Chains A and B, each alone.
Chain A
Amino acid sequence: MPETDTLIDWPEEGVARAPYAVFSDPDVYAAEMRRIFRGPVWHYLGLEAELPEPGDYRLIDVGDTPVIVLRNSDGGLNALVNRCAHKGTMLLFEPFGRVDRLMCIYHNWAYDLEGCLKSVPFAKGINGKGGMPETFDMAANGLDRLRVESLGGIIFGTFSDATPPIEIYIGERLMANYRRMTSRPFKVLGYYSQHLDSNWKLYFENASDPYHATILHAWATRLKLNRFTMEGAIEMSERGWHHLSWSKMATDQHGEVYETEAFRSGGDDFDAFGLHDASVIEQWDEFGDGITTAIQTAFPNFVLQQIHNAIATRYLVPRGPEGSELVWTVLGYADDDEEQTRIRLKQGNLIGPSGYISLEDGMVGSLVQKGIEGDKDKSSVMEMAGRSIETIVNSRASECGVRGFWTAYRELMGV
């Protein structure tokens, strides 16, 4: 069970409020690393497609902890803390590679791919003098391990024995979209990341918040790629920790509200704003169900994304109380033909740090971070569609996704 203390006084409105102090307080950050990131949650660790052969590894940061994810000699997956048991040195520092053992550069302590300590140089000393004492236990000095599960080609890890299996964690309701997007093997098209001058939760609130999507992201709204007036919904996982927001662009009705209400993202004047080359939004019905946008989150920091045919994973690495790194893996599927790959690469213009749609998402968190700096005793207000995590049928005019994030947060933090 989480510790309980007076780390934060949460407002009585519950998850319809988030106290500004949680976005910058170093004590809160330290508690998050223990109670959430080392707690009963699953972390994205990468893709099976990144580790095809025995010995293939990738590095990833799980909260503040550097982790090696590798395929062992039996074809299984291990996640080991990237830190020698001797002095704490990082063992690997190239982000991807292949190894047959893990050897520390500092004093050459060497581990097998299971993380077991296999050799210590000069363990018997020189001419019987010096060396490790009889009491030194090799078996007790292996690498720290995470539990690993792989689902639909995506690898997850957890530090906690209490975390339920990944399918249960995601929950049956949201497993439907998860299966929809992971039914074919992935192919990696590339990587990039964004350093954000904002607390990690500000980005993750944004990813859990469809309310902003058609208002902040004027590019997609003006081109009628995503509007609240299209068929769509927010779906919440059983415990409310994770959300899915989806829409079908071909179903827009009464979208003129964006113009009549004079939203910044409205505007029908295609002379002032229209595409001179529409090939950037050339697309096909990816999953045969007409859904053109699907954003699925998994608490605390994972996003599975379909924006037309731009498929990606995103995960967030907290970098201290007022910074974070958002890491994108741009994906296709292994059976894509050349034309499909070309369309995905062109739609790459919609996502990432230069994305017509995505570029505002990182930026807006830094505006919040600056805005709240002087008033740590105040809170944000999230009452769109009430104060609960219940969804509204056929409407995305709700902040239930963000309230779901705060539900999980309060539960694990004990605040």
Chain B
Amino acid sequence: MATIVEDSAHVPAAITALMADYVHAIDDDRLEDWPDFFTDPCIYRIATRDNEERGLPASLVWCDSRAMLLDRVVSVRHANVFEPHRYRHMVSAIRVLAREGTEHRVHSNYLVTRTMRDGTMAVFSTGAYRDVIVVGDEGARFRERVVVCDHGMINNLIAIPI
């Protein structure tokens, strides 16, 4: 039975560290490190707010193993072509909503800017992370990370994970 956490603003250090390490790895272009932030098996989805609210299951990205995450990275590096760009993530309002043993249900907000090689920068995505985070002796890992984009319209493409 999950415990509803009364002081949801109190976030264990291992969780804030995971959230920060995750976005730094992506923003620093260390995508090869990205699958290691997850347990195996795991869930990683990029969904839209409209679909989630209407109970429609289709997602932009749908992975349920660390190997599938790795395949995303391999494809970004070796198969897919697109105009080079980098992200910068801002994560805020982290709240631990419930806890069951080592599992924490955590919600937060995110904003991602995308900067192209010609210097053009724009807000690319904003939304919420809906996470299930396992905290163990070796730190914290995502058992589940659902990226719920506020926007159903994507500017061109999403190659790099959010």
Interface positions of A (Cβ within 8 A of B): 95-96, 188-197, 216, 218-219, 222, 264, 272-273, 275-277, 279-280, 325, 330, 341, 345-346, 348-349, 352-354, 356, 359-360, 362-363, 366-367
Contact with A along B35-68 (1 / 0, CB 8 A): 0000000000010101100101111111111011
Are B158 and A353 in contact (CB-based, < 8 A)?
A: yes
Q: How far, in angstroms, from A276 to B75 measured CA to CA in the complex?
A: 11
Contacts of A362 in B (CB 8 A): 156-157
User: Which of the residues A193, A273, A280, A349 comes within 8 Å of B154, measured between beta carbons?
Assistant: A193
Q: How far, in angstroms, from A218 to B51 measured CA to CA in the complex?
A: 29
The minimal Cβ–Cβ distance linking B50 to chain A, given in whole angstroms, is 7
Contacts of A346 in B (CB 8 A): 62, 64
Contacts of B159 in A (CB 8 A): 354, 359
Are A194 and B68 in contact (CB-based, < 8 A)?
A: no
Provide a sorted-by-A list of 5 A–B residue pairs whose CB atoms are within 8 angstroms: A272-B78, A280-B71, A354-B61, A354-B157, A363-B82
Q: How far, in angstroms, from A264 to B78 measured CA to CA in the complex?
A: 10
Are B56 and A190 in contact (CB-based, < 8 A)?
A: yes
Q: How far, in angstroms, from A276 to B78 measured CA to CA in the complex?
A: 14
Interface positions of B (Cβ within 8 A of A): 46, 48, 50-51, 54, 56-65, 67-68, 70-71, 74-75, 78-83, 152-159
User: Which of the residues A195, A272, A277, A352 comes within 8 Å of B155, measured between beta carbons?
Assistant: A195
Question: Considering the complex of A and B, which 3 residue pairs feature the smallest CB-CB distances, nearest first?
Answer: A190-B58, A277-B67, A276-B67
User: Which of the residues A196, A216, A222 comes within 8 Å of B81, measured between beta carbons?
Assistant: A216
Contacts of B154 in A (CB 8 A): 192-195, 353-354
Are A193 and B51 in contact (CB-based, < 8 A)?
A: no
Are B46 and A354 in contact (CB-based, < 8 A)?
A: yes
User: Which of the residues B59, B70, B78 comes within 8 Å of A190, measured between beta carbons?
Assistant: B59
Q: How far, in angstroms, from A193 to B154 measured CA to CA in the complex?
A: 6
Q: How far, in angstroms, from A346 to B68 measured CA to CA in the complex?
A: 10
Q: How far, in angstroms, from A196 to B60 measured CA to CA in the complex?
A: 17
Are A325 and B156 in contact (CB-based, < 8 A)?
A: no
Contacts of A341 in B (CB 8 A): 57
Q: How far, in angstroms, from A95 to B63 measured CA to CA in the complex?
A: 29
Are B58 and A348 in contact (CB-based, < 8 A)?
A: yes
Q: How far, in angstroms, from A363 to B64 measured CA to CA in the complex?
A: 27
Chain B residue nearest to A353 (CB atoms) is B154
Contacts of B48 in A (CB 8 A): 190-192
Q: How far, in angstroms, from A375 to B133 measured CA to CA in the complex?
A: 54
Q: How far, in angstroms, from A280 to B72 measured CA to CA in the complex?
A: 11
Are B61 and A359 in contact (CB-based, < 8 A)?
A: no
The minimal Cβ–Cβ distance linking A334 to chain B, given in whole angstroms, is 15
A354 with B60, Cβ < 8 A, contacts A273-B74, A359-B80 known = yes
Are A345 and B157 in contact (CB-based, < 8 A)?
A: no
Are B157 and A359 in contact (CB-based, < 8 A)?
A: yes
Contacts of A264 in B (CB 8 A): 81
Contacts of A330 in B (CB 8 A): 58
Chain A residue nearest to B160 (CB atoms) is A354
